[in-house]
Amino acid sequence: MSRKSEISKFEKSRMWLFFLMSLMVLTFFLLDIILGSVKIPFKATLQIIFNNYTGPEEWKVIILDFRVPRVITALLAGAALSLSGLQMQTVFRNPLAGPYVLGISAGASLGVAILVMGFSSVLLTGTVGKAGNWALVIAATLGSGLILMLILAVSIRIQDVMTILILGILFGSVATALVGVMQYFSSESMLKSFIVWTMGSLGNVSHDQLGILSITVIAGIIISFGSVKILNTMLLGENYARTLGLNVKSVRVIVFISTSILAGSVTAFCGPIGFIGIVVPHLARLLFRTADHKILLPGSFLIGVIFMITSDIMSQLPGYDQILPINSITALMGIPVIIWIILRRKEITPLS
Amino acid sequence: METESLVIGFRKSNRSPYVLFTDISVKAGKGELIAIIGQNGIGKSTLIKTLVRLLKPLSGKILVGGTPINDYSRTEFSRLVGYVSTEIIKVGNLTVTDMVSFGRFPYTNWLGRITNKDTEIILSALEMVGLQNLRHKNIAELSDGERQRAMIARSVAQDTEILILDEPTAFLDLPNRHDVLHLLGDLARKHSKTIIFSTHDLSLVINEADKIWMMTETGMFQGTPEDMALNNSFDRLFPHSAATFDIESGRFLFPPEFHRPLKLIGEGKVLFWTCKALERKGFLVNESDKTDIIIHAFEENGKFIWKLTKNDVVEEFNSICELLQKVDF
């Protein structure tokens, strides 16, 4: 009996889970568009989205210029940060790795800070056109790439997971300190726009920026889905991966590029958003009960999107005018999950 | 697989290489089970890592099928030589089947798709190591012996001619050591694989291995365990230790503190085990007639009885333990 029916039963429940999650993504996606400080009827919202609307013009502006780009940004950011977290956890064989904890986001901040404070604070407002936006993405990706490279160099020499983690935090702190020094020497207006940026925001992304973000995130996602096999093999550690015929150096470079692009470009436009990268892959392992990246990658993608859009809905405090910084929401939602995972040590599935 | 004046060690940038062992010229034939023995730190692991291409040799050659191993591409080499390390893999949510299917990596496409043929190979590998009933269990929940067999199944699924294992019997209890060694022997003989493994279990190796590569401070020796026993080669293994290899019993002995002769009379298994116990206690059994201690060991009505005659006093015992307590004094 067996083997076949057992497996198909297993896969059936997974298919259901995927289906359910896709449904949740769709629901929360719509919910995020409908909810907000200005009340717009559900029917009008749908009409606006499907382009046969004849009501007040400002509703149309609110939906199409603010809410839709915002929820798409949330979708991209959630997917990108989760996938980069999953890949980092696998390659570092470290259950607590993630773009934020390892200082990758801080590196991106440094790149952005050098660009913004060295050149112009206008860059952050998204009104400087395509070239400026690309400059922002490239600066952030290079910044995150720099920190990632340092951590990779260390992780070749040092195997201990905790040491690497602490060094990652230290590298991140150095980046943050450098940003602090630069802040000290910058003008008030630059300072303000930069500090607002560091709080993280999904709402300040312009149409141009959204286009660039889509391109980079989709590129990163394609690279990571193409790395299914090598990510699986890296679960066994480098020595086994090499004796199975894997070119570990090039694997490192590929994963390095895709995580830098994913985490870097999101950070460039939304600011450093924490904890999604660590938490989501664990939730995916918990729900799907597998170590196979064929399932973990799409799983983390969906959970990340749900997590991020939910955070966005919560940050808008439906019914109020204020919008809370997204970084605080993800921290408040994510840290309890991490604590819960650490306390139930059994569930923090070891990766080495 | 064979090596020609191989030198192993570590190469650190800007510094002269650290040489661990020189002039290794050994040969492993098809269907042979080969044990690498030697003291801790002599370079067994380094040799193994060099053989599987994880480390570069400092000089010399390693040939597989007459071709230097560096002439093979990564994938070609991974279809020729399999490796099991000492590392304990504890990935969560990874089933035994998942673990074994990693062995198919060199054969699958870029997505790692497992075909029906791959599934068959994986299942037969699981059967070979006797894990078919545990195949859905998580690797982290296995016992040490089961996990080691899962790792071996993974390399069986890799379908290589040569299989190289670093201390496959470490961390295992005695029955599991026997099992694993027996499994390796089966793989070598029935599936005509070349199997090379390092170990500290000399007494097991002497019974199971076809050939021994012995790494000593005076160089590398190779041969069948029997030849090595007859040549007294094993004494070179522990130059700084008091242990010596006893050619008669095939065991390693520590020289006794004192030699007291005694006479032991009996037959069969009771004689064998009594003799073993007395030798451990430092008695010279049946080597000299000048003794006033005589022990009769025999079986009567399904019970073992030991009769000790010492200074013309006769005592009877029901176990070796009781006998030993009295015979000493």
- The string of pLDDT tens digits covering residues A31-67 is 888 887 777 888 888 888 777 777 788 888 888 888 8
May I ask the CATH class of domain A3-347? mainly alpha
Q: How far apart are CA B266 and CA B260, in angstroms?
A: 19
Nearest CA in chain A to B76: A245
Domain segments of chain B as ranges: 2-244, 260-327
Domain segments of chain A as ranges: 3-347
- Six-digit token pair at A108? 């991106």
Tens of pLDDT along B88-133? 888 888 999 999 999 999 999 888 888 899 999 999 999 999 998 9
Per CB distance under 8 Å, which residues of A are interface residues toward B? 3, 6, 226, 228-229, 232-233, 235-237, 239-240, 242-247, 285, 289-292, 294, 348-352
CB B98 within 8 A of CB B120: no
Interface mutation target, options A240, A300, A341, chain B, most CBs of B under 10 Å: A240
Alpha-carbon A50 to chain mean position: 29
CB A205 within 8 A of CB A139: no
Count how many residues are written for chain A.
352
Q: Which residues of A touch B85 (CB under 8 A)?
A: 239-240
CB B129 within 8 A of CB B184: no
Q: Return the pLDDT at A352.
A: 47
The answer to whether B89 faces chain A, any CB pair under 8 Å, is: yes
- Distance from the Cα of B111 to chain A's closest Cα (Å) equals 5
The answer to whether B79 faces chain A, any CB pair under 8 Å, is: yes
Q: Does the pLDDT of residue A123 top 60, yes or no?
A: no
Residue with tokens 């893999």: B89
Is the Cβ pair B83, A239 closer than 8 Å? yes
Considering only CB atoms, B110 lies closest to which of A229, A285, A351, namely A229
Q: Does the pLDDT of residue B328 top 60, yes or no?
A: yes
Q: How far apart are CA A233 and CA B77, in angstroms?
A: 17
- Distance from the Cα of A226 to chain B's closest Cα (Å) equals 7
Q: Return the pLDDT at A1.
A: 37
CB A121 within 8 A of CB A193: yes
Considering only CB atoms, A243 lies closest to which of B83, B91, B94, namely B83
Tens of pLDDT along A244-262? 999 888 888 888 889 888 9
Q: Which residues of B touch A351 (CB under 8 A)?
A: 91-92
Containing A293, the helix (H) or strand (E) segment is helix A293-315
Long-range residue pairs from B130-134, CB within 8 A, at least 24 positions apart, any chain: B131/B96, B134/B96
DSSP string, B153-175: HHHHHTT-SEEEES-TTTT--HH
Residue with tokens 């939910």: A310
Nearest CA in chain B to A232: B102
Classify burial at B60, counting beta carbons within 10 Å of its beta carbon; exposed 0-12, middle 13-18, buried 19 or more.
Answer: middle
Tens of pLDDT along B155-207? 999 999 999 999 999 888 888 889 899 999 999 999 999 999 999 888 888 88
- Distance from the Cα of A202 to chain B's closest Cα (Å) equals 34
- Distance from the Cα of B144 to chain A's closest Cα (Å) equals 16
* Average pLDDT of the residues in A204-217: 88
Amino acid at the residue B44: K
- Six-digit token pair at A183? 């802040």
The answer to whether B12 faces chain A, any CB pair under 8 Å, is: no
Question: Helix H segments across A119-206?
Answer: 129-157, 161-184, 188-198
CB atoms within 10 A of CB A94: 23
The answer to whether B247 faces chain A, any CB pair under 8 Å, is: no
Is the Cβ pair A289, B93 closer than 8 Å? yes
Considering only CB atoms, A285 lies closest to which of B49, B85, B93, namely B93
May I ask the CATH class of domain B2-244? alpha beta
The answer to whether B115 faces chain A, any CB pair under 8 Å, is: no
Tens of pLDDT along A290-318? 899 999 999 999 999 999 999 999 888 76
* CB environment B268-305: b (16+ within 10 A), e (fewer): eebbeebbebbbeeebebeeeeebebebbbeeeeeebb
Q: How far apart are CA A196 and CA B329, in angstroms?
A: 90
Q: Is B19 helix (H, G, I), strand (E, B) or coil?
A: strand
3-state secondary structure A38-88: CCCCHHHHHHHHCCCCCCCHHHHHHHHHHHHHHHHHHHHHHHHHHHHHHHH
Considering only CB atoms, A233 lies closest to which of B82, B87, B105, namely B105
Nearest CA in chain A to B77: A245
Residue with tokens 């690279």: A223
Q: How far apart are CA B112 and CA B316, in angstroms?
A: 71
* Average pLDDT of the residues in B133-154: 91
Is the Cβ pair A229, B112 closer than 8 Å? yes
- Distance from the Cα of B117 to chain A's closest Cα (Å) equals 15
| Distance set, CA B139 to CA A154, A178, B98, B99, B174 (Å) | 29, 45, 9, 8, 22
CB atoms within 10 A of CB B145: 17
Q: Does the pLDDT of residue A223 top 90, yes or no?
A: yes
With CA atoms as reference, report the closest residue to A165 among A297, A278, A330, A260: A278
Q: How far apart are CA A109 and CA A175, in angstroms?
A: 8
Tens of pLDDT along B44-67? 999 999 999 999 999 999 999 999
Q: Return the pLDDT at A2.
A: 43
- Distance from the Cα of B138 to chain A's closest Cα (Å) equals 10
- Distance from the Cα of A167 to chain B's closest Cα (Å) equals 24
Interface mutation target, options B53, B74, B108, B137, chain A, most CBs of A under 10 Å: B74
Q: How far apart are CA A275 and CA A136, in angstroms?
A: 23
Beta strands across the sheet bearing B293-300: B283-285, B260-266, B293-300, B303-310, B313-317
Q: Which residues of A touch B158 (CB under 8 A)?
A: 244
CB B91 within 8 A of CB A351: yes
Question: Which is more confident, B201 or A21?
Answer: A21
Strand ranges in B39-102 using DSSP code E only, listed in sequence order:
59-64, 67-68, 81-84
Classify burial at B16, counting beta carbons within 10 Å of its beta carbon; exposed 0-12, middle 13-18, buried 19 or more.
Answer: exposed
Nearest CA in chain B to A4: B119
Q: Which residues of A touch B79 (CB under 8 A)?
A: 245
